[in-house]
Amino acid sequence: MPRKLADRLSAVAPSATLAMAARAARLRADGHKVFSFGVGEPDFDTPEHIRIAAKAALDAGATHYTAVSGISELKSAICAATEQHRGWRPLPSQVTVSCGAKHALFNLATALFEPGDEVVIPAPYWVSYPEQVRLVGATPVIVDTTEEMGFRLTAGALQGALSPRVKAIILCTPSNPTGSAYAEEHLLPLLGVLRRHDCWIIVDEIYADLTYDGFRHVSLPALAEDLAPRVIVVDGVSKTFAMTGWRIGWSIAPAEVARALDVVQGQSTTNAAAVSQAAAVAALNGPRDAVFAMRAAFARRRSLMVEGLNAVPGVRCRMPEGAFYAFADVRGLCGRAFQGTTLASDEDVATWMLDQAHVAAVAGTPFGAPGYLRFSYACDEDHIEAGLAALRRAVATLD
């Protein structure tokens, strides 16, 4: 038999966000100033008390294997933080600590989905949701949402997507890429539909601590104790505490699912890094002054980014409730031309914008939203202002 890659990879697309980051890196290597609004990563350093705790943990010997699903101190901290900040308290036996929230989601896909299963995913979606479903042989069922509805799934659309083959639904609130979020009034009708269909309910809450203008995040398990046997929450420290490189996320799942995840992870990565787990304990148990300061900075940047995008001819952008993304409608630029070449799609706009303005954002098509671009405002205000000015100058050159 000839050597070849596994057939399962033929159904999976590479990460659009990482592809744009690589293209921008090549421009930087050529000496260009690039205004990077592509990758979703806080630009802040991890707060000092967390770094100090990690150093102390190393000196105390946190350099060995731990239990596959995480150290007991971190599981207890996750449970306490969930109770304090999400309004419900899980048991440590429900927690599986993984190498980031993406890893937690991949573990879930491996443990729960198989060929013939369908998984409902509202669009726009984070690019990895449908690809992880495809990678294990299941089928994503994409349900479109509209900007007019705040990019939120409605009960009617959810009901229309459910069938006996649907194994799970994946919700993200606040959302990557749109920044939209579900308040209690939005979640209750969805719960009414889901009570009539026996599927897993996976909720990605990685951006839950980053909401603005008084918007109150509501954790779904706090609203629906009766659905606890099939609700799974994914969370982590990466966005809230500027700890992306530490690679600590987790799932909180019914006990039988948590046991299955222990098996999956035990045959793949084993435990997350011991020192990173110690750092996460310090993050969850420690003061949140730095978190509040970062959130206030994101709020200022959000206004600057959205107002600046709305000042670009041909671009419209709604004000997001959370996360650190502005999801801009660039259909007003599609059909315009540069030096005789027509920008036919959001992907053309993103490529032209990077090449001509050196502004890096991610096209909406890989997120299931043609005609849009995702701009991350996880960067300083001077960078945002300069990048938007470069974009305005570039747009002025279009025919």
The CATH number of whichever domain residue 339 belongs to comes to 3.90.1150.10
Residue 152 pLDDT greater than 70, yes or no: yes
Tens of pLDDT along 335-390? 999 999 999 999 999 999 999 999 999 999 999 999 999 999 999 999 999 999 99
Residue 11 pLDDT class (50, 70, 90 cuts):
confident
Looking at every residue in the chain, the average pLDDT score rounds to 96
Cα 256–chain centre separation: 26
Asked, for residue 2, whether it belongs to a domain, the answer is no
Residue 30 pLDDT class (50, 70, 90 cuts):
confident
E strands in the chain: 35-36, 95-98, 118-123, 139-144, 166-172, 200-204, 231-236, 249-252, 316-317, 325-329, 337-338, 341-342, 359-360, 362-363, 372-376
Residue 104 pLDDT greater than 80, yes or no: yes
CA distances from 239 to 298, 323, 336 (A): 11, 9, 36
- Assigned token pair, 330: 């660039």
Asked, for residue 58, whether it belongs to a domain, the answer is no
Q: Are 9 and 347 in contact (CB under 8 A)?
A: no
Reading across the β-sheet that carries 200-204, which strands appear in turn?
A: 95-98, 249-252, 231-236, 200-204, 166-172, 118-123, 139-144
Residue 15 pLDDT greater than 80, yes or no: no
Answer yes or no: do 277 and 372 share one domain.
Answer: no
At 40, is the secondary structure helix, strand, or coil? coil
Residue 4 pLDDT greater than 90, yes or no: no
Answer yes or no: do 298 and 278 share one domain.
Answer: no
**What is the average per-residue pLDDT within 207-219?**
97
How confident is the model at residue 10, as a pLDDT?
A: 82
Answer yes or no: do 234 and 255 share one domain.
Answer: yes
Answer yes or no: do 106 and 242 share one domain.
Answer: yes
Residue 213 sits in a domain whose CATH number is 3.40.640.10
Answer yes or no: do 258 and 199 share one domain.
Answer: yes
Answer yes or no: do 176 and 229 share one domain.
Answer: yes
Residue 3 pLDDT class (50, 70, 90 cuts):
confident
| Whole-number Å distance between alpha carbons of 326 and 374 | 6
Answer yes or no: do 321 and 362 share one domain.
Answer: yes
Answer yes or no: do 311 and 269 share one domain.
Answer: no
Answer yes or no: do 74 and 148 share one domain.
Answer: yes
- At which of 243, 267, 285 does a domain end? 285
Tens of pLDDT along 291-302? 999 999 999 999
Tens of pLDDT along 218-240? 999 999 999 999 999 999 999 99
Write the CB contacts of 287 (distance below 8 Å, at least 6 apart in sequence): 49
pTM, two decimals, is: 0.95
**What is the average per-residue pLDDT within 124-149?**
97
Cα 318–chain centre separation: 19
| Whole-number Å distance between alpha carbons of 300 and 375 | 15
**What is the average per-residue pLDDT within 45-65?**
98
How confident is the model at residue 373, as a pLDDT?
A: 98
Q: Any idea which of 1-15, 130-144, 187-201, 338-352 has the lowest mean pLDDT?
A: 1-15
Q: How many domains does the chain have?
A: 2
Answer yes or no: do 33 and 97 share one domain.
Answer: no
How confident is the model at residue 9, as a pLDDT?
A: 84
Query: From the CB of residue 259, how many other CB atoms can be counted at a distance below 10 Å?
Result: 14
Write the CB contacts of 256 (distance below 8 Å, at least 6 apart in sequence): none
- At which of 250, 285, 320 does a domain end? 285
Answer yes or no: do 183 and 277 share one domain.
Answer: yes
Q: Any idea which of 20-29, 92-101, 176-185 has the lowest mean pLDDT?
A: 20-29
Answer yes or no: do 17 and 163 share one domain.
Answer: no
Asked, for residue 57, whether it belongs to a domain, the answer is no
DSSP 312: S
Residue 1 pLDDT class (50, 70, 90 cuts):
low
Structural domain containing residue 72: 64-285
